[in-house]
Amino acid sequence: TGSLGEVLKESTTIVYTFVKSLLVRKFPKNAFFDTAHIHLHCPGGATSKDDPSAGIAMAISLLSLVFNQPVSSNIATTGEMTITGKVLKVDELR
Q: How confident is the model at residue 2 (pLDDT cuts 50, 70, 90)?
A: low
pLDDT of residue 46: 57
Q: CB of 78 within 8 A of CB of 54?
A: yes
Instruction: State how far the alpha carbon of 69 is from the alpha carbons of 27, 60, 63, 64, 66, in Å.
Output: 15, 10, 8, 5, 8
Specify the pTM.
0.81
Q: CB of 7 within 8 A of CB of 47?
A: no
Residue range 61-71: mean pLDDT, rounded: 95
Q: Helical H runs in 27-91? A: 32-35, 55-67
Residues 6-63 pLDDT 10s = 888 888 899 999 999 999 999 999 999 999 998 887 766 655 666 767 888 889 999 9
Q: How confident is the model at residue 92 (pLDDT cuts 50, 70, 90)?
A: low
pLDDT at 67 over 80: yes
pLDDT of residue 80: 87
pLDDT of residue 93: 62
